[in-house]
Amino acid sequence: MEGEHVLICVAWPYANGPLHLGHVAGCYLPPDIQARFERAKGNRVLMVSGSDEHGTPITITAEQDGLTPQEVVNKYHEMNKKALLDLGCSWEPNIDPRGIEFGGSLFNRTSDDDHKTKVQGNFKSLYDAGFFESKTTPQFYESYEQGGGRFLPDRYVEGTCPACDSEGARGDQCDSCGATYEALELKNPRSKLSPDAKIEIRDTQHLFYQLNKFQSALEKYSEDRHGVWNSNVRAMTRQQLDAELRPRAVTRDLNWGISIPFDDDEWSGKCVYVWFEAVQGYLTCAQIWSERYANEHPRGESAWENWWRVDEDGNVPRHLYFLGKDNIPFHTIIWPALVMGLNAANSKENEITFQPKPGDLALGYNVPAMHYLLLAGGQFSKSRKHAVWLPSFLEQYDPDTLRYYLSINMPENHDTDFNWPDFVEKVNSELIATYGNFVHRVLTLGHRLDTTSSDPFSTFEQLELKEEKDEVERLFQLATDSLEKHRFKESLRHVMGIAQYGNQLLQNAEPWKYMKNPDDEGYEQSMSSLAFCWRIARCLAIATNPFMPKSSQKLWNLLGHETDVQHQSWYDAIHWAAPRCWNSETPTPLFERLDLNEIMEREQGLIEENSESKEDITHTVKGGKKKKKEEKNMSTIEGIQYIDFETFMSIELKTGVIVKADDHPNADKLYVLNLDDGTDNGRTICAGLKEYYSIQELEGKNVVFVANLQPRPLRGITSEGMILAADDGDGGVSIITLDKSMKPGSKVR
C-alpha cells in the first residue's frame, strides 16, 4: 500500500542512569534503521518513545544522592535524549520534513502531565469496564517517632533471609540464595534508608488488573502472530501463557508516580505501578505528538488515530515494537491485554477480542526483539557499573562507526560481544577498507580525469554494462528483503557486498592504466566501468542511509548532490538513468582510521580519572571473555572495590627472566622484552619502562609477570602479558624482582 501508516515503538529507557552500548544495540539503533528505511520507501512513519521516569529505583537513587526524584529524571532524560540525537537517531525534527501527514517522531517522558492525565483516563475506563479487582495484602510500614510513617515497597526493606539466613535480603527476594518469599517471612526486617525506624506489617488495599480474563484472547493473538514473531518471542510468550495469567497489581504504596484518579482518602499516598503506565506511553506519546505538532494535519488533534486505529475498511496500521529480550512478555502479553481491555471498555458488551474492529486500537504487528550485546562476555548493566556509556563514547568517536559496528554485530539471533579490538578491526578493515576506500578511489580518480569539466564522467558512459547492473540490483534487493524482515546485520552485509563488488570492478577495469591513453584497446570498457562506479557510490549513499546517516549524507555531497539524501526514495538507489552531478572540491575520506593503542591508552587514562568506572574499563581493556560469576561477586563498598578470592586466583602470576631488551620500533616509551618464562619459546612483552631503566639494567633481571593477560598488539607488536612494577605516582617506578633466584615459570601466590 502506498504510504502505509507505520508506528515505530521504541522501548522506553529508564531514566536512572546514562544509556550504554548494550541498550543501543538492543533497543535504540534497530528502530532508527527501520524508521529511516520505511520513510525512504514512502511510508508514513510515526516513531514514539521517551524516558520511563517513575518507580522505586529512581526514588532510591534520589534519596541516596540527596536529590528529588524529579531532579534525577531531569538529568538523565536530557542526557539520554542528547546521546540518542548525537548517535544520529531521528528523534528530531518532530514533524517529517515531507509534511505532517507523513508523521514524525516524539521522544517524550512519563512525568509529562499530559501522559499522566491520559493514563488516568485509561485507568478509569478499565476500572469502569470491570477489569480490576481489589485485594488486601500485608505490607511493611515504617512509623516515625514524631508521628506518621509510610508503606515500604519491597526494595525499601532489608532483613535476614528466611531460607539461608543471609543478611541484606530484600523484602521479597534474597540475592544470596535466590529464594523468594512473602513479606511476612523476612526475618529482622528494617527500613533500608532509615534503619532505626520502627517497622511493622499493615494491611493495604490494592487494585489488580485481571490478566486472567484475557488468557484466551491472548492465546489466539499469539497463534495469529505465529508466522511473524521470531522463535525467541514465540517461546517466551508461550512460556508465560502456559503458566496461566494471574491478576497483576496496578497500584502500590508510593508517592513518586501517577496518582490514582479516585477522590477517596484511601487512595492518597498510592500510585499506579510503572509497568501499567510506562507501556501506555506508546499510545499517549502518539496522542501528545498529535496535540502538539499536528494542527496542520487534515485530522488535526486526531491525527494519531491514523497510526493507532483500524480504519473503516479494516486496514490496520503496522505497529513494530523494538526492545530487548527481557522485555518480551510486556509487549506480547501485558500491553496487548491492556489494548484489548481499552477496546472492550469502548464496546457495548465489553467484549474481549484479539481481532480489533474498525475504530479499535491496533494490536502489535511484530516485536523484533533483540538478544543482548555483552561487554566482553558479561551483560551490560546499568546497575552493575559494567558498561561502555553512550554519552562518553560519542564524545570520542564518530557515531557512524558505532552504528556500523553495532549493526554488523547486532544481537539478532544470539548474544554478541563488544570489545575494543574487535571494534577497531571491523571499522578499519571492513568499513574503511571496503566501503570508505571504494568511494574515495572513485572520487579521486574522477578528479584526475578532467577537473575543468562540470562532470568528468559524463562522456564515459558508453557501454551498457548489463551484467554489472544486474549484480548490484541483486545485492540491493537482498539488502531490502533483509530490512523488511528486520535482519539488520544481514542487510548491512549485502550493502557492504555492493561496495566490495565496486572494488572488484575497479580493480579489473584498471582505469588508472587507461585514463591517459584513449587510443588503447581497453579504454572504453575501463572508463565505462569507472563511470558506473560513480553510480555504485550513489547507490551506496542511499543504501547506507538507514545504517549510517551522517556519512551517507557526506558521500551524497561528495558526489555533487546538494539535497538531503534521506529524502531520496529507496529504489532510486538503482535508478541507473538518474542525472549525474559532480563536486569539484577535493574529496576527503568518509571515515578516520582508528588506532587501537591510542584507544587503549585513552581508556586506561579514564580509569585513573574516574575510579567509579574502574570496573568497566578493566573489563574493556582485557577484551576477552570473562566469567559471569566473577562480576556478580564484585562489589563496591565505601570506595574500595573488593574482588572475591576466586577472581584473584584467576590472575596467573609467574616469574621470568628478561633475556633481551630492545627499543620498540614505533613507540618512544616502550621496550620490547624477550622473556624466558619457562617455556621453549619464551614470550614477548611490551613494557613502558624506557624512562626508568636502560637496556643494560633490564637484561638478566628476574621479574614477575601476568601470564594470562589477553595478548594485544601494541603499535604493531603483540604483547603477551605484563611485567609487574611499583609506581609511587611521583615519577618513581621500580620493577618487582625476586629475592632469590627461581626457575623461570614459577607460580607467584
Return residues touching Zn ion (CB under 5 A). Answer: 161, 163-164, 166, 174, 176-177, 179
Please, what is the minimum distance in Å from the beta carbon of residue 92 to Zn ion?
48
Nearer to Zn ion, 176 or 462 (CB): 176
Nearer to Zn ion, 167 or 351 (CB): 167
Q: What are phi and psi of 431, to 5 degrees?
A: -60, -50
Burial 720-730 (b: 16+ CB within 10 A, else e): bbebebeeeee
Question: Among 354, 352, 390, which Cα is nearest to 373's?
Answer: 390
Are 17 and 386 in contact by the 8 Å Cβ rule? The answer is: no
Please, what is the minimum distance in Å from the beta carbon of residue 200 to Zn ion?
23
Please, what is the minimum distance in Å from the beta carbon of residue 127 to Zn ion?
38
Nearer to Zn ion, 171 or 682 (CB): 171
Pairing status of strand 103-109 against strand 44-51: parallel
Are 65 and 72 in contact by the 8 Å Cβ rule? The answer is: yes
Are 46 and 307 in contact by the 8 Å Cβ rule? The answer is: yes
Nearer to Zn ion, 162 or 329 (CB): 162
Question: Among 543, 433, 525, which Cα is nearest to 483's?
Answer: 543
Burial class (CB in 10 A: 0-12, 13-18, 19+), 225: buried
Burial class (CB in 10 A: 0-12, 13-18, 19+), 500: middle
Nearer to Zn ion, 161 or 424 (CB): 161
Please, what is the minimum distance in Å from the beta carbon of residue 379 to Zn ion?
23
Question: Among 543, 551, 514, which Cα is nearest to 531's?
Answer: 514
Question: Among 695, 671, 674, 693, which Cα is nearest to 744's?
Answer: 674
Sign of the four-CA dihedral 393, 397, 402, 405: negative
Please, what is the minimum distance in Å from the beta carbon of residue 162 to Zn ion?
8
Distance separating alpha carbons of residues 637 and 221, to the nearest angstrom: 48
Please, what is the minimum distance in Å from the beta carbon of residue 136 to Zn ion?
28
What spatial distance separates the first Cα and last Cα of the chain, rounded to whole Å? 70
Please, what is the minimum distance in Å from the beta carbon of residue 361 to Zn ion?
43
Nearer to Zn ion, 85 or 163 (CB): 163
Please, what is the minimum distance in Å from the beta carbon of residue 178 to Zn ion?
7
Please, what is the minimum distance in Å from the beta carbon of residue 32 to Zn ion?
42
Nearer to Zn ion, 188 or 586 (CB): 188
Are 656 and 677 in contact by the 8 Å Cβ rule? The answer is: yes
Give 315's DSSP letter: -
Angle ∠(45,542,88) on CA atoms, nearest 5: 60
Nearer to Zn ion, 60 or 174 (CB): 174
Are 304 and 292 in contact by the 8 Å Cβ rule? The answer is: no
Nearer to Zn ion, 15 or 174 (CB): 174
Pairing status of strand 416-418 against strand 373-375: parallel
Nearer to Zn ion, 162 or 688 (CB): 162
Please, what is the minimum distance in Å from the beta carbon of residue 174 to Zn ion?
3
Are 233 and 371 in contact by the 8 Å Cβ rule? The answer is: no
Nearer to Zn ion, 99 or 178 (CB): 178
Nearer to Zn ion, 166 or 379 (CB): 166
Please, what is the minimum distance in Å from the beta carbon of residue 173 to Zn ion?
9
Distance separating alpha carbons of residues 307 and 104, to the nearest angstrom: 11
Distance separating alpha carbons of residues 211 and 333, to the nearest angstrom: 9
464 contacts: CB under 8 Å, gap ≥ 6: none
Nearer to Zn ion, 168 or 716 (CB): 168
User: How many Cβ atoms sit within 10 Å of the Cβ of residue 230?
Assistant: 18
Nearer to Zn ion, 135 or 629 (CB): 629
Please, what is the minimum distance in Å from the beta carbon of residue 164 to Zn ion?
3
Please, what is the minimum distance in Å from the beta carbon of residue 182 to Zn ion?
14
575 contacts: CB under 8 Å, gap ≥ 6: none
Please, what is the minimum distance in Å from the beta carbon of residue 160 to Zn ion?
9
Distance separating alpha carbons of residues 164 and 629, to the nearest angstrom: 19
